Each structure stands twice: as C-alpha cells, then as structure tokens.
Amino acid sequence: MPTASGPSFSRRGVLGFGITGAMIAAFPALAAGGNYEAMLVNCIDPRVATGSWAYMAGRGYKDLYSHFVVAGGPIGVVSPKFADWQQTFWENLAITIDLHAIKRVVGLTHRDCGAAAVAYGDRVKNDKAHETANHLEALRAFRAAVNKRQPKLAVHTGIMALDGSVEAMG
C-alpha cells in the first residue's frame, strides 16, 4: 500500500519482477524474436482468416510463423497494380528473417479474390480456369521474386478455396 513516503512493494511482487527480468536476460531470443519456421503471406479477406490459420497449424506451424497480410496476398506483392505496397513487403520479409530466423515463406492466394479482380479484371471472378491461370502466374512470380531476394528460403504456394482447402502450387 502506498504511503506518504512513496509506494511500497511486497516481497512477492519484487521477487516476481526479479524472476521475470532474469528470464528475459537469460533467454533474449524469447524476448526479441526467436527461431520460427515461416512467414505466411495472404489476403486481407476475412473469409480466409480461419482457413489460413488452420492450414498453418495443420502443417505444424502453430505459433511458429509470422504473418504478412495485404490485399491479394502474393498477388499484392507482384502485381503492377499494387506497386506502391511492394517495398513494404520486402522490408517486412527482411526484418522477419533477422528477428525470427524463418526458413520458408508460404504464399496463399484465394478464390473469389477482389484484389485479383483489380489486378487482372473481373473475368477472374466468372471463369475458374482464367482465375487459376492468373493466380498461378502470380504465385510463380512471387516464388521467383522471393528466390531472387532471399535464395536461402524455401517457398511454398497455393490457392485457397473459401472452404479453407488449399490446392498446392509448389
């Protein structure tokens, strides 16, 4: 209880504070970043949020990945329509490698994506073959760009259906 001379601290509170400080000092990697598996890059669309989490957890990456979310996911990283955003992704990937020591990037696009329609035209919403071809082209460009800038990282890509299933694209 605080007194006129200032706050008072219980021995238990001081001990807890001391233990926390000692743990942070002893395990700085836990405090500053750590050693994680991947970075997930996917779309802002709320319809794929739960499916994306389940996909990563199903591959053993639960709590072991960072997450970069941008309209279109990998499409936003490579399409000229979204050029103003792209440097932000590359800088984020670089700091993720520095802080989290990731080993791979997982890039997921998804069906019925509004950002894909902005990038490639409305036909992607009405023609599944056209949609698939454009997503595949974007995912290949994404893989090539990551491989060029960060050749030590593995890159896994896929197209997510709105039910959460993913068609692997490499």
Please, how many CA atoms are within 13 Å of residue 111, restricted to the half-sphere of its CB? Answer: 13
The residue assigned the tokens 């743990």 is: 23
Model-level pTM? 0.80
Alpha-carbon span 126 to 146, nearest angstrom: 30
Tokens of 110: 């998804």
- DSSP 8-class letter at 20: H
Q: How many residues does the chain have?
A: 170
CATH of 33-168, picked from 1.10.3720.10, 3.40.640.10, 3.30.1200.10, 3.40.1050.10, is 3.40.1050.10
Q: Could you read off the pLDDT tens digit of each residue along the chain, which spans 170 residues? A: 555 555 555 555 444 444 444 444 444 444 356 789 999 999 999 999 999 999 999 999 999 999 999 999 999 999 999 999 999 999 999 999 999 999 999 999 999 999 999 999 999 999 999 999 999 999 999 999 999 999 999 999 999 999 999 999 96
Contact 33, 66 (CB under 8 A): no
Contact between residue 68 and residue 41 where contact means Cβ atoms under 8 Å apart? yes
Domain assignments of the chain as residue spans, ordered by start: 1-32, 33-168
